[in-house]
Every structure is written in C-alpha cells, then in structure tokens.
Amino acid sequence: QVQLVESGGGLVQPGGSLRLSCAASGSTNSLYAMAWYRQAPGEQRELVAEITIAGIPSGGSTNYADSVKGRFTISRDNAKNTIYLQMNSLTVEDTAVYYCNAEGTGGHSEGYKRFEVWGQGTLVTVSS
C-alpha cells in the first residue's frame, strides 16, 4: 500500500511563489511515477507536472502542462520519498486544489497490476 500526504498550500499574491510537497509512505519501491494535478472550482482535474520515480538510474524525466511551463518546477527526493512543486509567477488562474498522484505496479500476489493513488489535496489560492 502507498499513501500520499500533500502540504504547502495557502494564500499567495499574484506574481508570488509557493512550494508544495508530497510525501509518500508504504510500499514506495513499487512506484514508477508521481505527478501533480489540480482542479479549480467547476473545472476538470488536469495534469500539471509529472516525474519518473523508477526506471531511470539517475536524473529522471519530467513533463509539464503548457500553462505552467517556465513557471513551475517538479522535483523529487528519492531518499525522502517526496516530490515537490515549485510554483513561481503565480496568477489567479493557478487557483485550485492541487493533488499529488502516484503510479506503481503491484507485487507478485497482485499479478503486477498497475495501481494509482491520490493524496487528499492542498488548496492554493492566488488573490490580491
């Protein structure tokens, strides 16, 4: 089992910065990717950024939504089983609940079936 806990959300001024954290616990060795999603009121949940956890000896790879490229940075600390989202130049359009996501593969007893887990979310409000 894997559990995710997000932190770091809050109220920030337009143009400001914020850093989100997501700590994974449990069977973290089964994870191969983690990501940040967000969902604004009345909107669909969208992918913000993703990063590989396993399968790459070092460095990893990242992917960003076009709307946040150049402003947001996703990173990981494998020793702490934690990913981060550094958000700069925030705008009111970035206001949303941000969710941490993890993808992995089950063990032998589960037929190595893919699984996905979600954190509870952390609210980011960008307002003047």
pLDDT at residue 66, as a whole number:
97
pLDDT at residue 14, as a whole number:
98
Pairwise pLDDT comparison (79 vs 25), residue with the higher score? 25
97-116 pLDDT, tens digit per residue, is 999 999 999 888 888 899 99
Strands (DSSP E) contained in 1-128 are 2-7, 10-12, 18-26, 31-39, 46-52, 62-64, 72-77, 82-87, 96-105, 114-118, 122-126
CB of 19 closer than 8 Å to CB of 84: yes
35-66 pLDDT, tens digit per residue, is 999 999 999 999 999 998 765 555 568 999 99
Residue with tokens 């060795």, as numbered in its chain: 29
63-101 pLDDT, tens digit per residue, is 999 999 999 999 998 888 999 999 999 999 999 999 999
pLDDT at residue 59, as a whole number:
57
pLDDT at residue 1, as a whole number:
86
Q: What is the average pLDDT across 121-126?
A: 98
